[in-house]
Amino acid sequence: MFTMKLRKASAAAAAALVLSLTATACGGGDGDNEGGSGSGGGDKIKIGIKYDQPGLGLKEPDGTFSGFDVDVATYVAKELGYDADQIEFVETKSADRENALKRGDVKFIAATYSITDERKKSVDFAGPYLLAHQDLLVKTDSDITEATDLNGKNLCSVTGSTSAENVKNDFAPKANLKENSGYSECISSLQSGTVDALTTDDSILAGFASQEQYKGQFKLAGLKLSNENYGIGVKKGDTETLNKINAALEKMVSSKAWDKAVTDNFGPANYKNEPAPKIGVIVQ
C-alpha cells in the first residue's frame, strides 16, 4: 500500500514538473515573437534588410545573405547576445519599413535606411553608421566627370526614384531620363551602352560595381550630390534597444570591424567611403 501511494505521489510530481516546464517554454515564445532583446531574450532575432542590393543587402542563390548592411546587422545582433544562426533576416522593402517596425515584424532594420526628419516622426534611429552620397556610375572609359556632362546623354534610375530627378532638375536639365523597374536593368543598359550613366547612392552603385561579373567595367564618378545618413531603424520609443545598438556600433568602429566590412563589400569598386560617422551626428 505504501509503495503504491509513493508511486502515485511521484507520478503527480512528475506531471507537475512537465506542466511547469511547458509554461516556461510558452513564456519564452513571447520573447521570440518580439525579436528578443539579447542575452537570453529569445531564441532568435528578426532583422529587416534588403534582399536585392549587392554589397549592402543581398540574398544569395544558396539562401545566405551578404553585404555591408548584413555585416553591420550581424555584428549588432552579436552584441545584443545572438549568434549568427539565431538571426532571421526579413526582407523589408522601402515602402514597408516603418510598418514592419510598428507591427513588430522585426526588432530593427538595417537597409540603406536614410535618416530624415519625416521618418523620425514614426521611427527611432540608431547611428548613423554610414554616410553615403548620391553619385553616378559610368563605364571605366567614360568622359563623364560632372553631373552637367549628362546634358544630352541618357541617364538611368529606377522608377519612382528621386535621384534621377535631382540630377535632371538641378544639374543637367537636358539629360534624357530612362527609368527601369530595378537597378539590375539599369546596369545591363549601362553595360550595353543604351545609357551613359546610372544614379543613386554611391554605396549602392559601389555594391553593384563590385560584383564579380562587373569588375573593371564601371567606375564611380566621385560626385557628392547629396548626403545620405544611413541609420538603424527601431520601433518608436524602444530606447533600450536604441541605446544597445548605438553602443554596438561604437564598438564596431573602435574595433576596426567597420573598416573591414567596408573593404570586404565595396573594395573592388574603389569606393572612397567617408570615415565612420559619429553616433548621433547627422551631416546635412
pLDDT of 116-145, one tens digit each?
A: 899 999 999 999 999 999 999 999 999 999
pLDDT, residue 20, reads 40
Give the H or E element holding residue 94: none
pLDDT, residue 203, reads 93
DSSP conformation letters of 245-280:
HHHHHHHHHHTTHHHHHHHHHHGGGT--PPPPPPTT
Burial class of residue 36 in the structure, from the number of CB atoms within 10 Å of its CB (0-12 exposed, 13-18 middle, 19+ buried): buried
Given pLDDT bands bounded at 50, 70 and 90, which one contains residue 83?
very high
Domains 45-132+229-269 and 133-220 share a fold: yes
Summarize pLDDT for 229-238 with one digit per residue, the tens: 999 999 999 9
Average pLDDT over residues 174-198: 93
Amino acid (one-letter) located at 122: S
Tell whether the model's pLDDT for residue 37 goes beyond 60. Answer: no
Distance of CA 93 to the CA centre of its chain: 10
Cα–Cα distance, 13 to 18 (Å, whole number): 9
Amino acid (one-letter) located at 232: I
Percent of the chain with pLDDT over 90: 68
- Overall fold of domain 133-220: D-Maltodextrin-Binding Protein; domain 2 (3.40.190)
pLDDT, residue 42, reads 61
Tell whether the model's pLDDT for residue 31 goes beyond 90. Answer: no
Cα–Cα distance, 232 to 239 (Å, whole number): 13
Cell of 155: 541617364
Given pLDDT bands bounded at 50, 70 and 90, which one contains residue 160?
low
Summarize pLDDT for 236-246 with one digit per residue, the tens: 999 999 999 99
Residue that wins the pLDDT comparison between 181 and 103: 103
Instruction: Provide the mean pLDDT of the chain.
Output: 86
Which H, E and C letters describe 161-215, residue by residue? Answer: CHHHHHHHHHCCCCCEEEEECCHHHHHHHHHHCCCCEEEEEHHHHHHHHCCHHHC
Average pLDDT over residues 49-68: 95
Per-domain boundaries in the chain: 45-132+229-269, 133-220
Range in 15-19, 101-105, 127-131 the model is least confident about: 15-19
pLDDT, residue 16, reads 43
Tell whether the model's pLDDT for residue 256 goes beyond 80. Answer: yes
| CB 155 within 8 Å of CB 144 | no
Class of domain 45-132+229-269: alpha beta
Q: Residue 42: what are its φ and ψ, rounded to 5°? A: 170, 165
Amino acid (one-letter) located at 85: D
Given pLDDT bands bounded at 50, 70 and 90, which one contains residue 2?
very low
The alpha carbon dihedral of 93, 99, 104, 107 has a sign of positive
Ranges 91-95, 100-104, 177-181, most confident: 100-104
pLDDT, residue 266, reads 85
Say how many Å lie between the first and final Cα of the chain, rounded: 84
Cα–Cα distance, 253 to 278 (Å, whole number): 10
